[in-house]
Amino acid sequence: MAVKDADYASLQKIQSGDEAGLRELMSRHREALFRFVYRYVNNEADAAELTEQTFFRVYQNASRFRPNAKVITWIFAIAGNLCRDFIRRNRKRQGDLSLDVDLDDRTNIQRGDTIASSLSNPEEAAVSSESLSKVNAAIFALPHKLKFPFIFCVLEDNSYDACAEVLQTSRKTVETRIYRARKLLREELSDLLA
């Protein structure tokens, strides 16, 4: 049985045809969902579009929601599926990011955050930026089964139990997938770790 919380009340509004319920869900979860999707697809414009598509699907499929899980779990499951499908269709556009976009407006991520502030010269900054790009590329290359729990739990700081609920699997499976993702990342980024 779903927890009778504000999200559930908002979803009930949507089910009765009241768009205010969707606005409520968006105001509560848009930022966290955008950050998750952005980390998944590694492109700001695509992340914005996929976030919108997620909320559109929530509105469109509200009548199908069954109160045996949390609403936010259902929303993240929809987003994860959209991200997976998007990446399958658009493998050639990996990592596009306009340098003209000010990321802090939507993601609370600032360009300066990607380079440690203690760097004293441009050469160190370039090396740091290159390292960050390698880490992002390695995360992006993870298989969906490993990428989703890694981003959801490790990068976005959600619980293993919440991830297990979204993926409709056990906590142990989530733990194993995160362990495998970390192992693959360690192997892929061994030159940076040395």
pLDDT value for 34: 96
pLDDT value for 123: 63
Distance CA 26, CA 55 (A): 7
Distance CA 148, CA 36 (A): 9
Long-range contacts of 12-21 (CB under 8 A, 24+ apart): 14/58, 14/59, 14/62, 15/62, 15/63, 15/65, 19/59, 21/62
pLDDT value for 70: 87
3-class DSSP assignment, residue 66: coil
Distance CA 150, CA 177 (A): 8
Q: At a CB cut-off of 8 Å and minimum separation 6, what does 66 contact? A: none
What does the pLDDT profile of the chain (194 residues) look like in tens digits?
344 588 999 999 999 999 999 999 999 999 999 999 999 998 999 999 999 999 999 999 998 888 787 899 899 999 999 999 999 888 755 445 444 444 444 444 444 444 444 545 666 666 677 888 888 889 989 999 999 999 999 989 899 999 999 898 999 999 999 999 999 999 998 888 76
Alpha helices per DSSP H over 142-167: 144-149, 160-167
pLDDT value for 14: 93
Map out the domains of the chain with their CATH numbers: 1-94 (1.10.1740.10), 118-194 (1.10.10.10)
